[in-house]
């Protein structure tokens, strides 16, 4: 029976191509500005006074209802950060500012890159799909999911997932250059770590098959299991860091709209994108986790089981990738359409 994988890949490539065509109409729309957080130290009294006045006004305007007498306390969640520093017997006032660095990015170009990569990679996998028994060494490129980890699938994720993180973060004004760069780089490293984990799972499969005649686990199997668990835990740490930052920053930004007497609220589309993308990105890790647990605790591993497992895992990844791109693509388009309607 032919696997469902090429059909999902083909459908994903088609929907991405449709989305790519739709997004072409929005290229003209945005250059998103970014900023850097810089500590400015000065001895100019006027700047220090102006900063304290701004801090007092901000504290008055953006005080949560649960905080009493904010001016008396002189502190709160929206207090401007001021640091006194003494150098060479001179007292400097340090002020934390968001400085325009002149850098911008275009989220629609990023989204188009994500969709174009999906068209090329997933369309290519659909075209080059082969069953294991149809393996032909004379062909330059073949996609055989049951054979084991596929490097090019993870390359696709590495080329697209970091940009998806930037698009999501920028949608709710999380646009500090350093944070965006670090989060995108961490997501890229996390994706490549996924490929390393798959290689280790394949190694464990082969070790288990080779030692299946022995009643006890060999040293090589035990070492494979230890490395696999460590790599998996490391990937979870990276994933938690990325999404904790995104979710916390989103909650802070949403609460600031309420506390600062802003009549608007976070668009519903942004909330949907964040929740669904977080769940979908987490599902990639869950698929790896389930595969790891089965590889460690299954009583016996056979070549047939190994091939069947890799085919199932490929199907899960393809379906998750399709869903994640659809959510981001149509959610982002809906968000822009809603913003345009609000301006008209």
- Is the pLDDT at 325 greater than 70? The verdict is yes
- The DSSP code sequence of 62-91 is T--TT---HHHHT--TTPPPEEEEEETTEE
Q: Structure tokens of 133?
A: 């028994």
pLDDT digits (tens, 9 = 90+) for 40-96: 888 888 888 888 888 888 887 886 554 444 444 455 677 888 888 888 888 888 888
pLDDT tens digit string along 7-38? Answer: 999 999 999 999 888 888 766 557 888 999 99
Say what angle helices 303-343 and 177-210 make with each other, to 10 degrees. 160
Question: Could you give the C-alpha distances from 162 to 32, 61, 153, 268, in angstroms and in order?
Answer: 17, 36, 15, 23
User: Alpha carbon 48 to chain centroid distance?
Assistant: 39
343 band by pLDDT with thresholds 50, 70 and 90: very low
Q: Is the pLDDT of residue 167 over 70?
A: yes
Largest CA distance in the chain: 82
Which residues, other chains included, contact 267 with Cβ-Cβ below 8 Å and sequence gap of 6+?
335, 338, 339
Q: How far is CA 279 from CA 61, 62, 276, 315, 328, in A?
A: 36, 32, 5, 18, 13
What tens digit of pLDDT does each residue of 194-243 get?
A: 999 999 999 999 988 887 655 555 778 888 899 999 999 999 999 999 99
Q: Spell 249-274 as b/e; 16+ CB within 10 A means b.
A: bbeeeeeeeebeeeeeebbebbeebb
> Which pair of structure tokens corresponds to residue 127?
């075209």
Q: Structure pTM?
A: 0.87
Buried b (16+ CB within 10 A) or exposed e, 188-219: bebbebbbbbbebbbbbbbbbeebeeeeeeee
* 3-class secondary structure, 148: coil
Q: Which two tokens stand for residue 224?
A: 């494979």
Mean pLDDT value across the chain: 85
Q: Is the pLDDT of residue 158 over 90?
A: yes
Q: What is the pLDDT of residue 59?
A: 80
Check residue 173 and give left, alpha or beta (phi > 0: left; psi -120 to 50: alpha).
left
Alpha-carbon distance of 35 to 100, in angstroms, equals 5
In this structure, are residues 76 and 61 in contact, taking their beta carbons and an 8 Å threshold?
A: no
| Displacement of CA 52 from its chain's centroid (Å) | 38
Q: What is the pLDDT of residue 68?
A: 45
Q: Is the pLDDT of residue 183 over 90?
A: yes
* Domains with residue ranges and CATH for the chain: 5-30+106-339 (1.20.1070.10), 36-100 (no CATH)
Residues facing 96 on adjacent strands: 39
Q: What pLDDT sits at residue 72?
A: 44
How far is Cα 284 from Cα 209, in angstroms, rounded to an integer? Answer: 26
Q: Spell out the residues 6+ positions from residue 190 whose beta carbon is closer than 8 angstroms to its own.
A: 161, 235, 238, 239, 242
């Amino acid at each position: 029976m032919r696997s469902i994988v090429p059909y999902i890949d083909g459908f994903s490539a088609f929907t991405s191509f449709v989305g790519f065509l739709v997004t072409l109409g929005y290229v003209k729309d945005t250059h998103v500005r970014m900023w850097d957080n810089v500590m400015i130290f000065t001895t100019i009294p006027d700047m220090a006074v102006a900063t304290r006045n701004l801090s007092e006004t901000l504290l008055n305007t953006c005080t949560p209802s649960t905080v009493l007498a904010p001016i008396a306390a002189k502190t709160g969640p929206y207090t401007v950060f001021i640091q006194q520093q003494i150098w060479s017997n001179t007292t400097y006032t340090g002020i934390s500012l968001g400085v325009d660095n002149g850098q911008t990015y275009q989220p629609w170009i990023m989204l188009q890159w994500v969709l174009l990569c999906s068209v090329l990679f997933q369309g290519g996998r659909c075209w080059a799909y082969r069953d294991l028994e149809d393996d032909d060494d004379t062909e330059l490129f073949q996609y055989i999911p049951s054979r084991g980890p596929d490097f090019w699938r993870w390359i696709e994720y590495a080329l697209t997932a970091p940009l998806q993180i930037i698009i999501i973060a920028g949608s709710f004004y999380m646009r500090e250059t350093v944070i965006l760069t670090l989060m995108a780089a961490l997501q890229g490293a996390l994706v490549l770590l996924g490929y390393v984990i798959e290689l280790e799972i394949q190694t464990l499969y082969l070790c288990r098959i080779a030692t299946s005649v022995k009643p006890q686990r060999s040293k090589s199997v035990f070492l494979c299991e230890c490395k696999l668990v460590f790599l998996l835990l490391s990937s979870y740490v990276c994933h938690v860091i990325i999404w904790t930052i995104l979710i916390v920053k989103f909650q802070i930004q949403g609460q600031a709209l309420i506390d600062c007497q802003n009549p608007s609220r976070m668009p519903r589309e942004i909330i949907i994108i964040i929740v669904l993308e977080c769940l979908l990105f987490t599902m990639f890790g869950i698929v790896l986790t389930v595969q790891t647990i089965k590889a460690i605790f299954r009583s016996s591993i056979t070549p047939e089981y190994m091939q069947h497992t890799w085919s199932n895992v490929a199907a899960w990844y393809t379906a998750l990738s399709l869903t994640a791109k659809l959510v981001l693509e149509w959610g982002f388009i809906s968000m822009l359409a809603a913003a345009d309607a609000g301006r008209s």
